[in-house]
Every structure is written in structure tokens, then in C-alpha cells.
Amino acid sequence: MKEKTVLLAEDDASIRLVVSQTLVSAGYQVRATASPDALERWVRSGDGDVVVTDVFLSDTEIFDRLPSLKLARPEMPFIVMSAQNTILTAATAAEQGAFEYLPKPFDIDNLVDTVRRALKTPKSSDALAPDMRRVVDEAALPLIGRSDAMQDVYRVLTRVMNTDLTVLIEGEAGTGKSLAARAIHDLGKGSEGGFHVLSRTSVAAGAPAAELLEGAATLYVDEVSDFSLDEQAGLLECLDAHPHVRVIASSRRPLQGCVEADTFRNDLFYRLAVVRFQMPPLRERKTDIPELARSLLLKATQRGLPSKALEPGAIDLLTAYDWPGNVRELESVIARLCALAPAATISAQDVEREVRAGLSKTGEGGEGFEAEVEALLRRHVMSALMRAGDDDAGRVYQDVIEKVERPLISLALQVTSGNKVRAASLLGVNRNTLRAKINGLGIAND
């Protein structure tokens, strides 16, 4: 059998070399270039069986050429790679008919597997309409984040947005489930119709689902696990009577567990969970926090709050916090900081004050923290204190301080990526003192 040929377009020479060598080792012929003009010439002349290309080649965006290339070679699968890992990139790749979108950095074995799948997938004879691309302002996108967890979300969204499949979005409160639902609607084929929201609150207020479905292209059922069994029965009956409406539902509780606990109807579960995915909590995508925080600053300014910036130490503290309320909690803190921080630049001290206030309200800080520390001390050092005599020169205090200092300093270095100056600023100690403690406590300098 003749070897299949991969047309590779990548302007980073090192990536081009690694990908080329890997694909050759996998049994493919490879023609590689950094030039968008060379790639277009090869495609139009009938060369190659699959294209692997970066979104940006020099000053050219491949999406500007993809519609005409798809018209010329409708059977040719295009695999698009990009370091601009936003939902806009993923959505545009899907709209332009790309076979797959791979965010950089990518797993090389995953790329080879994607090429293999692209060559085995039956070819479509449908050419992509040249006007299919939708112009979207990235600043107005509902979802923000370039982490691996968010890339998984984007891939699901782009695969379902131009279908009429029912989607179930699960995840903790504040993770952005409603934003994901809105993105599926706005970026998909049903965006011209209405996006209507049904919650248990609206049901309790006497708004029947049938009325909400009038004129709707998409019905978003918010936190469906909150619905009573009677309300679930009414919802199921209504959905069955309006099959033309696309349904997206969300739940902060795992809905399968609700079915097993007999608090949710299994027939409604199967009706909703055709496509099912999880919105990640913010603590699992902390690399997104700086970008999210800056976006929320802009949003706060658009709401009439004073324009503010974040100093590096403030961003470090925001990133270190686990955000049990997720993006919703972060947005609330950012809004308060814009309103209350005295200077134009939000400091680490400003962030610390707001986060500490939030912890004390939820019982996670202050006395709660001290109680946890006291419990640990009782468990680990009480016996040593009781054994010590009046004349003993004990080391209990020094041992405890060292055991607290070591993980505390390690955590500060972790959130500042090893930057000792910024770690010292966060901890409120002199940088020379911090260096001495790092050396004295034997903390590895990664």
C-alpha cells in the first residue's frame, strides 16, 4: 500500500523537525514547510492526503485561506494546531471544517493518532461555504482560559455546537456552566433563535416550561437537580412535546448519583445526558486565574467601577487561593477590590484583606484556622511538652516553627515560580532573611 503523505506547515523549526521525524517513524511521508504559500500550492496541485498546520504561519492566519482550500479539496482533512488556546480558536477551527483542533503544547502521540484517525475517516464531498466564518470579538467571549482542563471543554463545545444534541453540563457552583451553555448557543447553528432559561425559581414563580419554549431555539435548564420529582415529570412532558427545541441542562450535583439516590428520574436523566461533560473548578485550572482576573477587571470597569490594575504580588495571591466559589467568587472579589482598593494598582495587601474577609465569613479562616493548628499541636507536640522538666532545654518551639516555616516558604516559592524577591514580598520578610531561611531549612531551589 502506498504511504500516505502528510503536508506539515509550521514556522517553528524545532517543532517542524520533531513532528516530521515522528510522522516518518509512524510510516508516513512528510512534506514540511513554514510557508503558507507553499502549503496552498501543494493542496491546490492535489498533493498530500492530510494537512497538519499551525494557525499562524508568519503573518498569515490559516483560517483566512481555509475556506478556499476546502473548496478546492473538500476531501482533504485539516488538523489545526495553535498556541492561542481560546474558545475562539477552537470554535473557528470547527466552523471552518477542520478535522481536529490541537492546542499547543500537544502530546506527539496524540498528534500521530489524530493523523491516523483523519486518514481513516470517510471523506465528505461537502465543500465549506466561503462565508461560514463568524467574526467574534474575543474580549466578549463567555469562557476564558488556556489550561488543559479548559481545552477539554472547548473540544466538547466545538463538537456539539453545530448539532441539535441535548447536552448536560455538570460542575460545582460558580464554574461557568451557564456560560458554557450560552457559548454552545451563540457559536452554534441555532444562534439566530432565542436562548431561554428555565430554573426551579421560575417554575416556582408559576412560569410554565411550555411558555418559555415559545420562540426558543435553545432551552437552558439551570441546575436541573434542584427540581422536585413532580417538576421533573412536568419538564419531561414539556420537552417531549417540543422536540424542535435544543435542550442544554446543568447540575452542580452529579446527576447519575441523584438517580441512584432516587431523587432524580432516570428517564429524564437519559433524555438530558446525550452529551455530558464537566466544567472544571477553578482550583484545577489555576494557570487561568491571571487572565481571568484581568478580564474581570475590565468587566468591572464596564459596569462603572474605577479602572484598576493588579501588581504581580496580587496576582500571585489570587492564584494561590483555592476559590471554593470558583469564578463567581473571583468575580465578586475583583469587583470589591475595584470599588474599595485605595490606589489605582491593587496590591497584595488589598487581595489578602479581601480573601481573609471571605474566609472569616465562611468559617474557613481566623478562629477556624487557629483551631485546626491547635488540634495538630495537641496531636504532635503535647507529649513532648508534658515530658519536659523545669530544667530541660527543650526544642519544641524551634521544631514547631521550622515545621511551619518550611512548607510556608515552599508554598510561597511555588506560587511565585521560584522568584525569591516576590516570595519575600508575599511573606512580608526581608529578601536576605528569606534566602538565609531557605538555606538553613534545606528547601530545594527548583
Q: How is 210-231 classified by DSSP, letter by letter?
A: HHHHTTEEEEEETTGGGS-HHH
Residue-level pLDDT at 132: 30
For 133, phi and psi rounded to 5 degrees? -65, 135
Residues 6 or more apart in contact with residue 71 via CB below 8 angstroms: 127, 128, 130
**Longest CA–CA separation in the chain, Å:** 93
In the DSSP assignment, the letter for residue 140 is G
Assessment of whether the complete model's pTM goes beyond 0.85:
no
In the DSSP assignment, the letter for residue 2 is P
Residue-level pLDDT at 291: 87
In the DSSP assignment, the letter for residue 96 is T
Query: In terms of C-beta distances under 8 Å and separation of at least 24 residues, what long-range contacts does 187-194 make, across chains too?
Result: 187/87, 187/91, 187/95, 187/134, 187/136, 187/157, 187/158, 187/161, 188/160, 188/161, 188/162, 188/163, 189/161, 189/162, 190/164, 190/217, 190/218, 190/246, 191/217, 192/217, 193/217, 193/218, 194/218
Peptide bond into 142 cis (omega under 30): no
Calculate ∠ Cα 390-391-394, nearest 5°. Answer: 90
Q: How far is CA 63 from the centre of its chain?
A: 23
Contact 406, 306 (CB under 8 A): no
Q: Is 278 helix (H, G, I), strand (E, B) or coil?
A: strand
Residue-level pLDDT at 391: 56
Q: Is 79 helix (H, G, I), strand (E, B) or coil?
A: strand
Instruction: Give the pLDDT of the chain (446 residues) as one tens digit per residue.
Output: 578 999 999 988 999 999 999 999 999 999 999 999 999 999 988 899 999 999 998 888 888 888 778 877 888 999 999 887 777 778 888 777 888 888 888 889 989 999 999 998 765 433 333 333 333 344 345 688 888 899 889 889 888 988 999 999 999 999 999 999 998 998 877 677 889 999 888 766 555 556 667 778 899 999 999 999 999 998 898 888 888 899 999 999 999 999 999 999 999 999 999 999 999 999 999 999 998 998 899 889 888 899 889 998 899 889 988 899 999 999 999 999 999 988 989 998 899 888 877 665 655 555 556 767 777 777 777 777 766 655 555 678 888 888 888 888 888 887 777 888 888 888 888 888 888 888 888 886 54
> Which residues of 141-274 form beta strands (DSSP E)?
167-170, 194-198, 216-221, 246-251
Residue-level pLDDT at 402: 80
All three cell numbers of 59, joined, read: 503573518
All three cell numbers of 260, joined, read: 441512584
Residue-level pLDDT at 79: 94
Residue-level pLDDT at 128: 33
Calculate ∠ Cα 207-210-216, nearest 5°. Answer: 105
Distances (CA, A) of 67 to 71, 74, 154: 6, 10, 22
For 53, phi and psi rounded to 5 degrees? -140, 145
Calculate ∠ Cα 17-116-1, nearest 5°. Answer: 95
